Amino acid sequence: MNRYTEKHIYTRKREARPGRWPLISAVGVVALAFVLLISQPLGLAWIAPTNLPVAATTATPPPVPTELPPSQEPEPPDPEFSRPDYMNGFWLSKGVEYFITGEETGEDVREQLDTALAAAAEWQMNTLLMRFPDDGNPIRNKSGTVFDPVAYIIQATDSQPLYLYGILDLHVGDGDEKWDPAVPADVTKMRALAETAAGYRFDGFAIDNYGYAAGDTGSMADRELTGPAEEYWRDCVADAIRTVKSACRAANPDAYVGLLANPVWAHRSDANPNGSPTEDFYQDYLDGHADTLAMAETQLVDFMMVKNYQST
């Protein structure tokens, strides 16, 4: 994809109409001769432009605008993404790979993270995906000070050839505890999560848990338009993802923001001929009310990584 778009300026040339100018010229010469002939007998004086009185003026020139009109403002540059040509990555999650029991001190967690990074270097991994912790529970050192595992990972990987991506969990599929994209207060939580994560020096972000759980639905309280409820919820999911992406880009214009997508958009059927030849799997489009196919086609996100836990 080209980063720059060539702009061409076309100038419309005005064409002279045949026969118009010779006629005007002839009429003008005759009229001028007539004025000169009658001016002398009537005692009229020919007033040249230099004889006209000139009034003194103190008018000041118009102020020079300090800002360009919106139509003339330069377009922002395309983002310069930081991404590998081929990803060979691993991920870390709080409660899984570190802070496993919930009773470790900061020193214990530091040792767990160092072990994971050493294994990644041995396996020649080039990308680390770290689920951004949003539970607000601090990890404390033995001295009582707070240990920030995200800040430690970023510092520890500065000297390693690793791309670092934060995984943003939107909690839409969490059932009764979900963040509902159809509820403005929950979308505010998603934006706050993105803004907090974007304060760290991640190369990019992967949005996860963006679709409703199977059999679950969203709120209808703020629905204003008529139409299928499923379409309304899909629009809400897309708007929530758009909000999260905008929050990340506001903090880092070069952030590479994508989706940690489920493997099945929809099973192939008469209603969904573009679906996959699969069955008995969770479907983003029908179960989660998330039209990930449309997100890819409209480039709502910069990339998609498929969560295929059954592959080897």
Eight-class DSSP state of 281: S
Q: Give the span between the Cα atoms of 310 and 312, in whole angstroms.
A: 7
H helices of 157-306, in order, are: 184-197, 229-251, 292-297
- The identity of residue 109, as a single letter, is V
Q: Give the span between the Cα atoms of 248 and 252, in whole angstroms.
A: 6
pLDDT at 17 over 70: no
Q: How is residue 303 written in tokens?
A: 């990339």
Q: Of 57-66, 197-206, 269-278, which range is least confident?
A: 57-66
Q: What is the mean pLDDT of residues 178-186?
A: 96
Q: What is the mean pLDDT of residues 91-116?
A: 91
Q: Are 202 and 248 in contact (CB under 8 A)?
A: no
Q: Give the span between the Cα atoms of 104 and 299, in whole angstroms.
A: 42
Angle at 212 between CA 209 and CA 216, to 5 degrees: 150
Q: Give the span between the Cα atoms of 259 and 245, in whole angstroms.
A: 10
Average per-residue pLDDT for the chain? 80
In the structure, what pLDDT confidence band is assigned to residue 311 with cuts at 50, 70 and 90? low
In the structure, what pLDDT confidence band is assigned to residue 292 with cuts at 50, 70 and 90? very high
pLDDT at 23 over 50: no
pLDDT at 12 over 90: no
In the structure, what pLDDT confidence band is assigned to residue 58 with cuts at 50, 70 and 90? low
Q: Of 44-48, 147-151, 158-162, 304-308, which range is least confident?
A: 44-48
Q: What is the mean pLDDT of residues 208-230?
A: 89
Percentage of the chain lying above the pLDDT 90 cut = 55
- Helices and strands in the chain, H and E counts: 6, 8
Cα 171–chain centre separation: 20
Q: Give the span between the Cα atoms of 89 and 178, in whole angstroms.
A: 28
pLDDT score recorded for residue 256: 94
pLDDT score recorded for residue 161: 85
Q: State pTM to two decimals.
A: 0.73
pLDDT score recorded for residue 81: 87
Q: Of 7-11, 248-252, 294-298, which range is least confident?
A: 7-11
Q: Give the span between the Cα atoms of 239 and 196, in whole angstroms.
A: 19
Burial of 99 (0-12, 13-18, 19+ CB in 10 A): buried
121-137 pLDDT tens trace: 999 999 999 999 876 66
pLDDT score recorded for residue 41: 41
pLDDT score recorded for residue 65: 57
